[in-house]
Structure 1
Amino acid sequence: MNIAIIFAGGVGTRMNTKDKPKQFLMVHGKPIIVHTIEKFQNHDEIDGIIVVCVEGWIEYMQEMQYRYRLNKIGKIVPGGKTGQLSIYNGLKAAESLYGINDNIVLIHDGVRPLITPQVISENITCVKRYGNAITCAPTKES
């Protein structure tokens, strides 16, 4: 199975948003995290999605799951005190839901909706070939 863990366990303190965490800010009529999840939801090679969410916003995320028919989401779990602990919570949820047999797990930041289907496919192919993958882009000096 190919599983995406979308982590959005932070509250955006550096962004100084008062009303809601940055992943739930609206862009083109949808929360940013929904745009991100849809990239994986609509990808033929992705079998399941785990969302790691700010604990106080899990119910809202469940509403978004229903509203936008994000039916590949298998579980929504609370984030941890750090990004690393949030990812760990997502990995534990993936293990409990999908097992540990030869699954490919893609970990993606919930506030990065500009990932392309091609990059998702290339990551899966790379993991199959080499055992792991990381997406990066050349630095652009300003």
Structure 2
Amino acid sequence: MQTIELTHPYKKECIFPEPIVLALGFFDGIHLGHKEVITTAKRVGQERGLKVAVMSFNQHPSVIFQNVDPASIQYVSPLERKKELLEELGVDIFYLVDFTREFGALTPKEFVDQYIVGLNAKVIVAGFDYTYGKRDIANMDLLPKYASNRF
């Protein structure tokens, strides 16, 4: 599995150049729901001949949005264990985004433009409760609006 660390704004040359299936989520612990998201992405990738990527964050968004002390958060799976679990599930590319105030301030459209279209995603897979954009204002139901038929 290739790990690509991204800091907003990222450099385009860091991005995997081919179309991908992109699974979105924090994926702490890789529980059954997370496994379902990733195995769905794998199945779609196999059907369409696409590599599977997971995009996650280096810290929980609450550190930025709620000023939670990073040292107080108990992650179910530390980062290295998360990488191991993702690799065991057959993920090809792991995008690890530095969750900064600037990244957290992206509008839903900016997030879709830069972190979905910009990562060459052709299919998106996420859990029912995945949100994106400044203050989590958009959910998966709104994705077609921001996608504008680009994936």
TM-score, length of structure 2 as denominator length: 0.42
TM-score, length of structure 1 as denominator length: 0.44
